[in-house]
Amino acid sequence: MALAEDFADSGRAPVSACPACVVVPAAERIAALRADRAGRIVLSLPNAGGAQSISTVEAAVQAVPGVISARVNLTLKRVSVEAEPSVTAAQLIELLASHGQEAHELDPGLLSVTETDRQGRELLMRLGVAFFSMMNVMLLSVAVWSGAEDATRDLFHWISGAIALPTVIFAGQPFFKSAWASLRQGRLGMDVPISLALILASSISVYETAMSGHHAYFDAAVMLAFFLLLGRYLDHRTRAVARSAAEELAALEVPRAVLLVDGAELEMPIAEVQPGDLVLVRPGARMPVDGVVIHGASELDRSLLTGESLPVPAGEGTVVSAGEVNLTGPLTVQVTAAGKESSLHRMADLVAVAEGAKTRYTSLADRASRLYSPLVHILSFSAFGYWMWATGGDVRYAINISAAVLIITCPCALGLAVPAVITSASGRLFRKGLLIKHGTALERLAEVDTVVFDKTGTLTLGAPEPVALADQPRDAVAVAAALAAGSSHPLARALADGARALGLAPADVTGIREIPGQGIEGAYRGARVRLGRADWCGAEPVAATATYLALGGETRAFSFTDRLRPGAEAAVKALKAAGLQVELLSGDAEAPVRDLADRLGIPRWQAGVLPAEKAARVAALAAEGRKVLMVGDGLNDTAALAAAHVSISPASALDAARVASDIVLLGQDIAPISDAVRISRQATRRMIENFLISGGYNVIAVPLALIGHATPLAAALAMSLSSITVSLNAMRLK
């Protein structure tokens, strides 16, 4: 590690030798940028839990000079720190690490929870009011049901009305608004009959009370409002949880670039990098911008962009794109496009277009309401018409009946049926490490019959593992391990780890130095030894990912294979057992792809696939009438992810890929994918059951209402019983 830092140091020096490259009035810009950095730092604490961690973290952070306040939020597992500009996130992360707390910086700008927060609080407020009135009106109604008469009944009705009317006006607003919006577009949504029922029930009750009638539906109106708001709130909460978790994933990658201004290094947000600026990219860091290398030599890992697992060399003049990972040496890059202009962002924009196609999917709830709401209106109006005719023009009686029909048929349980199942299913999947980002993703996942996997980074970890290291001569491995220990190149690290696992001590190699973009060199028993690229070591390249050792006039190749993601075997096996067709599409070379397909037992695979070909293959499968689940992580998968019926990406995926996918796999283990398919099928079944249950209640209650025998008591019973039954059924998910 010390070596790598040395190179980082030496990498800085030549830049000031190129003053012409730096055209920006430096001092002003530095001052302006430093001033912006004051304020709030938000860190994510994934392992925080228990009272002890609150005390430890808050005490430790508050002890730092310059920190004004620190507060841990254990529910979100975050700490937010108000501090002076001198305090940096890196400093706090290091401090917390020394106290045994893992911490990651979050971009506070991306955590825009306020808007959803406000909506959620508003809904909860309305729910609270509806609950309060429902309980009070219910108490009064019990007295009426059990036989209060004349003046007492009227008094109770008046009091109920005084409580219920303001409640309906306040709590019903979300329904009134969306009903009005859908009416203006000339459609009959689910909210139109709801609003109609609320308004009609309240006004007929006021009229009945004024005429000192027997039946008032104040209790039904507030109960309706309460149960429907409950469904709305559950729905909102599921979405808010998914959104905030997705935001956190995005915020984890704080987009910062190290800018070189007049030879000075300055860390700043990517949004402020301009074309023409010089950016330093250290080994192990991801390219923040598109640009051209003007200084340094290194290797680049392009697997997230193209799927190839083999690193490519980079030197002066190499064109780099945002998202590539710099492996060995520090690179100075002149920016050609940054932020919204970069290739990464343009790809994300393409995805946004594809996203629109997915919203065209009609969910079960939509289909149910499309069937349901005309039926409700027709029933209610025909009841009105029939009783007008049968009673010879008794408007009061006819309106009463049609209000009763509306209240009973109102989709109270229907409004709960889907949100309750989705809340329960996504909670269960979240515990298994799957984040459902899209509302209809579960339903779409249940329909899937084909699974298409990407290779690098999805089925494999994108981390190399040495092949048959034990078969190599022990002294050669020992020398290679000694050389490899001095580098942070992934192949070198894997080699050093592999030697350690074999119990081999590194040989006594002196004078180790890393040549960026080439390899590592040292002296062993007086002779020069090299570990690195084939041409540099004078070796014949082999047809696999490999590094080469030049030792005493001889060369030796160490080849590597990509490490399998944990649970990959189990996931493929379970998916095949569930009757799904599994395919593998990779941008990598043929040999490693065939190898992996054989290892996992995937019969259909294709290597060297271009991004557009991936999307085309998914589209071709869709044209055959297949519902495709795409699992992928790279930029080369994004188009396919967006084109698939439903898509999953691991949390390690590129931001653009995560945005394009409907479900994000939070853990490293990929096995939960098969659980997700199973749970989603179960959830869809529960939803249909719930529709049938609430339909069943209607089949019994509607005829009663139509012939004029529905009392407010019957309406209240049908409504609460069906709501409770569907909620319980939703919780049966396993």
- Contact residues: another protein, CB under 8 A: 50-52, 54-55, 58-59, 72-76, 121, 124-125, 128-129, 132, 135-136, 139-140, 152, 155, 159, 163
Choose between 59 and 390: whose C-beta lies nearer to another protein: 59
Minimal distance, residue 723 CB to another protein, in Å: 22
Length of the chain: 734
Minimal distance, residue 49 CB to another protein, in Å: 8
Minimal distance, residue 372 CB to another protein, in Å: 33
Minimal distance, residue 132 CB to another protein, in Å: 5
Which amino acid is located at 504 in the chain? L
Minimal distance, residue 61 CB to another protein, in Å: 13
State the burial class of residue 368 (Cβ atoms within 10 Å of its Cβ: 0-12, 13-18, 19+). buried
- Closest by CA to 135, choosing from 211, 59, 38, 223, is 223
Minimal distance, residue 225 CB to another protein, in Å: 15
Identify the DSSP state of 286: B
454 flagged as catalytic: yes
Minimal distance, residue 137 CB to another protein, in Å: 11
Q: Are 370 and 355 in contact (CB under 8 A)?
A: no
Choose between 54 and 589: whose C-beta lies nearer to another protein: 54
Report the DSSP beta bridge partners of residue 267: 258
Choose between 125 and 612: whose C-beta lies nearer to another protein: 125
CA 471 – CA 466 distance, rounded (Å): 11
CA 412 – CA 697 distance, rounded (Å): 11
Active-site option among 154, 219, 235, 454: 454
Minimal distance, residue 93 CB to another protein, in Å: 20
Choose between 135 and 731: whose C-beta lies nearer to another protein: 135
Per residue in 582-617, is it b (16+ CB within 10 Å) or e — as a string?
A: bbbbbbbbeebbeebbeebebeebbbebebebbbeb
Minimal distance, residue 139 CB to another protein, in Å: 7
Choose between 124 and 266: whose C-beta lies nearer to another protein: 124
Q: Return phi, psi of residue 438, to 5°.
A: -115, 140
Which residues have a Cβ under 8 Å from the Cβ of 491 and sit 6 or more positions away? Answer: 311, 464, 484, 545, 547, 560
Which amino acid is located at 382 in the chain? S
Choose between 140 and 629: whose C-beta lies nearer to another protein: 140
Choose between 16 and 152: whose C-beta lies nearer to another protein: 152
Query: Three-state SS for 100?
Result: coil
CA 413 – CA 697 distance, rounded (Å): 10
Report the DSSP beta bridge partners of residue 300: 312, 326
Query: Three-state SS for 329?
Result: coil
Choose between 251 and 327: whose C-beta lies nearer to another protein: 251
Report the DSSP beta bridge partners of residue 555: 550
Q: Are 17 and 528 in contact (CB under 8 A)?
A: no
Q: Are 56 and 99 in contact (CB under 8 A)?
A: yes
Report the DSSP beta bridge partners of residue 334: 278, 292
Choose between 73 and 510: whose C-beta lies nearer to another protein: 73
Q: Are 294 and 333 in contact (CB under 8 A)?
A: yes
CA 33 – CA 28 distance, rounded (Å): 9
Question: Which two tokens mark 266?
Answer: 């300055």
CA 338 – CA 170 distance, rounded (Å): 48
* Active site residues per annotation: 454
